[in-house]
Amino acid sequence: MAGKVLVTGGSGYIASFIIRQLVAEGWQVNTTIRNLAREAEVRAALDVPADKLTFFAADLTSDAGWADAVAGCSHVEHIASPLPTGRIRHEDELIVPARDGALRALKFAKAAGVKRVVMTSSVAAIAYGHGRKIGKYTEADWTNINGPEVHAYAKSKTIAERAARDWMAAEGGEMEYCSVNPAAVLGPVLSADFSGSIEIITRLVSGALPGLPNFGFGVVDVRDVADLHVKALTAPNMNGERFIASGPFMMMKDVAAVLRARLGADARKVPTRGLPDFVLRTAALFDPTLKMVTGELGKVRETPADHARAVLGWTPRPAEQTLVDSARSVIDHGVVKL
């Protein structure tokens, strides 16, 4: 089945691959960006037929443009959510637009007669705030936003998803809702504008990290995250569902080992030694990106995607392929200069 679908945040990393797959499968796509001055740039990166994709100006913090963007759509992929790109003065800079944007997407979707909304959440809404618990987390788990060392991004994703589910229970009516909760999204990039998670790879390949911090993350390919979103858009019995999108949990030393083994001379700057925790904590005082991971030191958060595999037949590609494709892509796009 294909019809017309709204994908919010069309300039974003995950949204870009979702749009590509939807168009390839015959959907007519509407998408939102905050400023239409970027339309030509985003179109060029997406490289899909012009008559299959229509842009609308809309922002998470305002009602303007939403009704037009969702008009005539039977489905919505709500992907847009703020990402920390630098030092934030207050956690509400992420929490408020994430929560209000999710509610805005749902309200306008219902008003337009949309059948189903698939929303991008995160494992950050599942596996955080539980102290030093080591083990597996499933879709039944929720981040404790009042727990130790829970950063603003994890709070924003948790609060936004909970708000969306509460709204659906009270106001959703016959409209359906489900969420996709990815781990660290890596893979190829379409341009030099990509998700902050790719910083993990750029810093390793460029030699920006003097050593390997003692932390890790679940690895998932952006192409597989897009595929899971598209599967969830039309599969039966999706209302209320929640799907973790993740491959194996890998420590930085394991990621570095894959890059060194598979990239040859292009991995010459990838560090080989560990980085003491105190060095990373000190560096994080001056680098907001690093500050987000200081709470992860020494922790293992496994988030297996057994549910997505069983219900949707989702099969992610090997993590090693994702890591290598990420590195090759940032080198090819000139993001990393060797």
Question: Is 236 buried (19+), middle (13-18) or exposed (0-12) by CB count in 10 A?
Answer: exposed
Give residue 1's pLDDT.
Answer: 64
pLDDT in tens, 183-221: 999 999 987 666 778 989 999 999 998 899 998 999 999
| Mean of per-residue pLDDT scores for the chain | 93
pTM recorded for the entire structure: 0.94
C-alpha count within 13 angstroms, C-beta hemisphere, residue 89: 0
User: Where are any strands of DSSP class E within the chain?
Assistant: 4-7, 28-33, 53-57, 75-78, 116-120, 135-136, 176-182, 184-186, 216-221, 242-245, 249-251, 301-302
Instruction: Point out the least confidently predicted range of 110-124, 135-149, 227-241.
Output: 135-149
Using CA atoms, how far apart are residues 77 and 79, in angstroms rounded to an integer?
6
- CB-CB contact of 217 with 183 (8 Å): yes
Percent of all residues in the chain with a pLDDT value above 90, rounded to a whole number: 78
SS3 call for 267: helix
User: Going from the N-terminus, what domains does the chain have, and what CATH number goes with each?
Assistant: 4-332 (3.40.50.720)
Using CA atoms, how far apart are residues 115 and 271, in angstroms rounded to an integer?
49
pLDDT in tens, 14-26: 999 999 999 999 9
Residue 293 has pLDDT above 80, yes or no: no
Give residue 107's pLDDT.
Answer: 98
Per-residue pLDDT, averaged over 57-72, amounts to 98
pLDDT band at 320 (very low <50, low <70, confident <90, very high): very high
Structure tokens belonging to residue 73:
């759509």
pLDDT band at 289 (very low <50, low <70, confident <90, very high): low
Which carries the bigger pLDDT value, residue 85 or residue 62?
A: 62
Residue 295 has pLDDT above 90, yes or no: no
Catalytic residues: 157
DSSP code of residue 147? S
Give residue 132's pLDDT.
Answer: 65
Percent of all residues in the chain with a pLDDT value above 70, rounded to a whole number: 95
Residue 9 has pLDDT above 80, yes or no: yes
Q: Which of 312, 139, 313, 163 is nearest to 238 (CA)?
A: 312
pLDDT band at 133 (very low <50, low <70, confident <90, very high): low
Residue 259 has pLDDT above 80, yes or no: yes
pLDDT in tens, 65-92: 999 999 999 999 999 998 776 667 788 9
